[in-house]
Amino acid sequence: MRVLVISDIHANYTALEAVLKDAGEVDETWCLGDLVGYGPDPNAVVEEVRAMKNLTCLLGNHDVAAIGRIPLETFNGEARRALEYHEKVLSAENMEYLRSLPQNLKVREGVSLVHGSPRDSVWEYILNTLSARLNFDYFTTPWCLVGHTHLQCMFRLNEKTNRVTRDPIVPGEILHLNPKLILNPGSVGQPRDRDPRAAYALYDTEAKTWEPRRVPYNIAEVQKRIRDAKLPEKQAVRLAEGW
Ligand code: ZN
């Protein structure tokens, strides 16, 4: 089965469209959360995701805030302004949909899925080998897929030496997976690894392969909508910089 793995779309509909077109036909989609926050298109993104067939979708920390489960003050000023805007413009149906999503780790096809980390499903960032090491004890499947950091990356636990490494990955290069791994498909709508192209991955459940991908999209179009909606300028600038 060919699975599209996406995360951190952040209300960037143009990037999501580019990813769906680039991915082509898939059997399932696994979305690791943060449909909203930062970007100009919360309704379009939620509607597109809602319409996907064979979808597993988790809540991210921005989604949790948009549906009012935590105070918006938890976020810094610029992230908060976007969330206030989303709270205002999201349709009742789309809010209801976000409220229906789970926020805890899910297992699909023998793979753990979570937004933040296995030990703190919504909030913890797995940014380095230390935070990865602490999390390998919190899932039992051979690999765990995480989002949240907006970094397309892979951490490997060597079970003999008990050490964790961050393994290099090359977009478009297919990886054959061996336990034990933490994999991040990167962010569709707001990459933060200095590569502004939308990030996602394809997972093959039989071959046990993972293909991280990058796809260019019309960033200027999204920046214009961010400015038209009077969202913080930083959210527009960072898209072109990939951070
Ligand atoms: Zn995010």
Alpha carbon of 160 to ligand 1 centroid (Å): 33
Q: Is the pLDDT of residue 190 over 90?
A: yes
Task: List the chain domain ranges.
Answer: 2-241
CATH homologous superfamily of 2-241: Metallo-dependent phosphatases (3.60.21.10)
Residue where the block lists tokens 């200095």: 194
The per-residue pLDDT for range 202-236, each reduced to its tens digit, is: 999 999 999 999 999 999 999 999 999 999 999 99
Q: How confident is the model at residue 132 (pLDDT cuts 50, 70, 90)?
A: very high
Alpha carbon of 147 to ligand 1 centroid (Å): 7
Cβ within 8 Å of residue 227, ≥6 positions away:
233, 236
Q: Is the pLDDT of residue 65 over 90?
A: yes
% of the chain residues with pLDDT over 70: 100
Mean pLDDT of 165-188: 97
The per-residue pLDDT for range 9-45, each reduced to its tens digit, is: 999 999 999 999 999 999 999 999 999 999 999 999 9
Tell me the pTM. 0.97
Mean pLDDT of 101-114: 97
Alpha carbon of 161 to ligand 1 centroid (Å): 32
Q: What is the pLDDT of residue 96?
A: 97
- Distance (Å, rounded) from C-alpha 28 to C-alpha 188? 17
- Mean pLDDT (the chain) is 96
Alpha carbon of 150 to ligand 1 centroid (Å): 6
Q: Is the pLDDT of residue 69 over 90?
A: no
Q: What is the pLDDT of residue 70?
A: 86
Contact 204, 23 (CB under 8 A): no
Q: Is the pLDDT of residue 71 over 90?
A: no
Mean pLDDT of 118-145: 97
Alpha carbon of 76 to ligand 1 centroid (Å): 13
Work out the angle at residue 157's Cα, subtended by the Cα atoms of residues 152 and 161, and round it to the nearest 5 degrees. Answer: 150
